[in-house]
Amino acid sequence: MRRTMKRTVSAVAVCGLALTIGLVATPATAIAPPGSAQQGMVFVQTDDPAGNQVVAYRRAADSSLHQAGTYPTGGRGGSLDGAAVDRLASQGSLTYDKAHRTLYVVNAGSNTVTVFGVVGDRLIRRQIINSGGTFPVSVAVHGAEVYVLNARAGGAVQGYVSILGHLVPLHSEHRALGLPVTTGAQEFTHTPGQVVVTPDGSSVIVTTKAAGNSLLVFGSFVPAQLAKAPVVVDDAGNVPFAAVFDRFGHLAVAEAGTNTVATYAVERGHRLRLLNRTPTGQMATCWIAGAGGNYYLSNAGSNSLSGYRAEHDGSPVALGNTATGQGTVDAAVTPDNRYIYVQTGKVGAVDAFRIESDGSLTKTSSTVVPNAAGAEGIAAS
């Protein structure tokens, strides 16, 4: 952890800003069939404006999902104007921190984030805390540092430190993005899409979609203070939506405006250097998930996944397209990189695929998540 003890002690003093701390455990009756040993969990949020929930599934050895419980977040979901199969129009709205066995969930309609502890196949609600802005859509974790991206009112990033399973907001790490505000049917394409942290923790990056057609790179300095202003990486017309780091440390970005995947090298001074831009040949290429040496992009307009193998020079090698259910959106890969679970927003289902040795995908199952049509937010453990 790069933060000093002085900062940690100071942060503890403001922990009273948390809105609620409590426990929730809602058991389920579904039981995995004999012979299907549990391998891990898959979590999906419903993003219901009447009351957001996380549906927890046991993940069997054959990749099938078996419902283990439904957990109210204590907040409300939300929807950006114009959105259909992707109400949040973002990536990372449900984020699992493996090191601390913690699940972070945004409540876009309540401007809050819910923190769950993961205990076996159960969730324990620890905290509900203000997101530091309006309409939270994405969470990124690096060690004890947690960053939340808020999409409306021009966008904002709020930084926190995690202490004993609870978030403490750091007022010195609140950054208003000042993006243009768009209302009406185009709102969902004109809000920031994701916050990510570089593998070494030195930079925090925001994708702005059509609101800025840029990537905003904030330096993160010891003693852990975000730069006052970001380095702006122009991506005019490409609509950078979501991003992931590949095994070589390159930033791979799904670009919805041109249906491309762009790769960048992260350089000194918190700058990004474009390495490659490759068209997927699909429509509405918006989400991207890493799987070992590969990454897979979700194409909501083509109902497909596009696979690529990462290369050291940033030039991806195409692995082919794979059909999914209607409205391909957010996706999560298992820790062993053997399976990818992708949400299909039209009916609120999760399609499971086995990742073969050559990177191709084989569909293994599909599970309809209760009350999750149009929702985004999925994580696997």
Does residue 36 surpass a pLDDT of 90? Answer: no
Identity of the residue numbered 235: D
pLDDT level of residue 34 (50, 70, 90 thresholds): very low
Element housing 326 (H / E): none
Q: List, for residues 141-173, the tens digit of each pLDDT value.
A: 999 999 999 999 999 999 999 999 999 999 999
Domain ranges for the chain, please list them.
5-27+37-380
Residues 6+ apart with CB under 8 A from 34: none
Q: Are 49 and 69 in contact (CB under 8 A)?
A: no
Tokens of 263: 């790769």
SS (H, E, C) 41-67: EEEEECCCCCCCEEEEEEEECCCCEEE
Tell me if the bond preceding 49 is cis, omega within 30° of 0.
no
Q: List, for residues 308-330, the tens digit of each pLDDT value.
A: 999 999 999 999 999 999 999 99
Tokens of 349: 């289902």
Percent of the chain clearing pLDDT 70 (strictly above)? 89
pLDDT level of residue 27 (50, 70, 90 thresholds): very low
Does residue 175 surpass a pLDDT of 80? Answer: yes
Burial of 174 (0-12, 13-18, 19+ CB in 10 A): middle
φ, ψ (nearest 5 deg) of residue 18: -60, 140
User: Is 5-27+37-380 a domain of CATH 2.130.10.10?
Assistant: yes
Q: List, for residues 251-299, the tens digit of each pLDDT value.
A: 999 999 999 999 999 999 999 999 999 999 999 999 999 999 999 999 9
Does residue 200 surpass a pLDDT of 90? Answer: yes
The radius of gyration of the chain's CA atoms, rounded to the nearest angstrom, is 19
pTM confidence score: 0.91
- DSSP assignment letter at 191: S
Q: List, for residues 111-152, the tens digit of each pLDDT value.
A: 999 999 999 999 999 999 999 999 999 999 999 999 999 999
Element housing 226 (H / E): strand 225-226
Distances (CA, A) of 77 to 56, 136, 320, 336: 17, 10, 34, 31
